[in-house]
Amino acid sequence: MNQTKYIFVTGGVTSSLGKGIIAASLAKLLQARGYRTTIQKFDPYINVDPGTLNPYEHGECYVTDDGAETDLDLGHYERFLNVPTSQANNVTTGRIYLSVIEKERRGEFLGKTVQVVPHITNEIKDRMQLLGKSGDYDIVITEIGGTVGDIESLPYIESVRQLVWELGEHNGIVIHLTLVPYLAAAGELKTKPTQHSVKTLMESGIKADILVCRTEHEISEELRNKLALFCNVKREAVIQSIDASTIYEVPNLMLEEGLDVVALKKLDLPKKAAPDLKNWNTFLRRLKHPKHTVNIGLIGKYVEMQDCYKSILEAFIHSGAANETKVNVISIHSEHIDATNINEKLAGLDGILVAPGFGERGIEGKIEAVRYARENKVPFFGICLGMQMAVIEYSRNIVGYADANSTEMNEQTSHPVVNLMEEQKNITDKGGTMRLGAWKCDIKQDSLAYKIYGKETISERHRHRYEYNSNYVAQLQNAGLIASGVNPDTGLVEIIEIEDHPFFIGVQYHPEYKSTVANPHPIFVNFVAAAVQAKKK
């Protein structure tokens, strides 16, 4: 292809309709037809990135190989496409304005008055085309965060209007995701919210090319014709998106509705071969027809909001299917765990995962959970802070350092077995300054980690400021806490494990970020397998 084509996905009526899943599903179908496809997310909030946002505010912060702290929708993009994303795939209003203001300070606008149009919109359009101009993609799908009509989204909507006009016919199209609610009192679906949403979009100068209608009930042919007529789209471009039992069914639902065919027609592109979804459907079959069931306790401090651990939950879906096992994730708030109730809280679990996090709230509960898993031989998996809790627990209860702790929680501890990284000690700005992105790790042979990965060198994504204190590694290793993975450049311990245990591993990195439908992460796969074996005993 000589020119990259662009698809813009907007949302109307309400938030949380699933623009990211629709974008990822369409991208999956286009990819399965042989098109090089990527997805990017433009978010209307003024934060420069989600890295400083409270998980309760925004859910999980997803990290890419190049160290970008991004929106959790990028996780969906990677899980569906099995293609890494980057900093270019997620842009916020804060990043746009910061860039424009820095240009103004450098005098790049030659003294002109800096305005939303054209300076902010030009910056947005440049970012929208960044991946397309790389030559790596045939089709770029851009998800616009927020809802049409929001004040925050107006510059993005205007940028889409300009870009579609500039790209020319068949080079840029707009998909509008909207809601067709069911009113129980009337016993019928209502199209009026969609009509108003499309009208709002048209008032901004944009005509939707395709309507994707979220619904709890089947949309009749009569209603589809009505939506087509009133919203000024062709009948074939009215796509139903009915509720599904899992997000991984959505590509097949969109295939049945012909979303990819309509999009390709609008872009004047050949359909090529029918989408090859053989491996995808094998995964779905395994997911829907498990042979085993296990209960995994997720010990965390943000368990009230499931999006805070989105990638972990999805990794359990991937690894569960790989093991033909239904994984029941039981969320347990670490603040509610202590030595007096630990047996009651964790009884009946086939595996225990201690989740990542920041700050001292709920820390002692996590340490108790590690101790329970270690002493009762329950398969254990600690991620980032979860690994650090395992180091602290071992130091206290095996080595005998009663006050062992992390300096994040207690700067006065006489045994700082977890300490602030040296390069972090003079950092004052919090945004984008952690140890981020992909780092190498060398794995010891004859270790559990080597058995899991099957190779000596791996690369995994990080997001942390604190580390296992190197001054204690040798001493704890002599006591049985094995440092089985180490960064070759910094000497930082990346993986810890213990022997004489069915499965006990802690990792400083975030393996959940790299788990996809096509490649379930090997630690999760082996952890679930260990839980299955534990249940059989």
Exposure string for 61-84, b = 16+ CB within 10 A, e = fewer: bbbbbebbbbbbbbbbbbbbbebb
Which is the catalytic residue, given 119, 176, 462, 510? Answer: 510
213 flagged as catalytic: no
| Alpha carbon distance 420, 46 (integer Å) | 29
β-bridge pairing 188-189 and 182-183: antiparallel
Exposure string for 343-377, b = 16+ CB within 10 A, e = fewer: eebbeebbbbbbbbbbeeebbbbbbbbbbbbbeee
Closest CA to 194 of 162, 230, 141: 230
DSSP string, 10-35: EE-SSS-S-HHHHHHHHHHHHHHTT-
Distances from the Cα of 194 to the Cα of 145, 178, 211, 231, 232, angstroms: 18, 6, 9, 8, 12
Query: Residue 235 burial (CB < 10 Å; 0-12/13-18/19+)?
Result: exposed
Angle at 241 between CA 236 and CA 242, to 5 degrees: 130
Which is the catalytic residue, given 61, 308, 384, 441? Answer: 384
512 flagged as catalytic: yes
Which is the catalytic residue, given 123, 408, 467, 512? Answer: 512
Q: Where are the alpha helices (DSSP H) in 433-506?
A: 448-453, 470-478
| Alpha carbon distance 81, 259 (integer Å) | 17
The tokens for 91 are 């842009």
Closest CA to 298 of 327, 324, 325, 318: 327
Closest CA to 328 of 318, 313, 341: 313
384 flagged as catalytic: yes
Angle at 150 between CA 105 and CA 53, to 5 degrees: 65
The secondary structure of residue 273, as a DSSP letter, is S
Q: Which residue, chain included where needed, has tokens 């790596």? A: 136
| Active-site residue list | 384, 510, 512
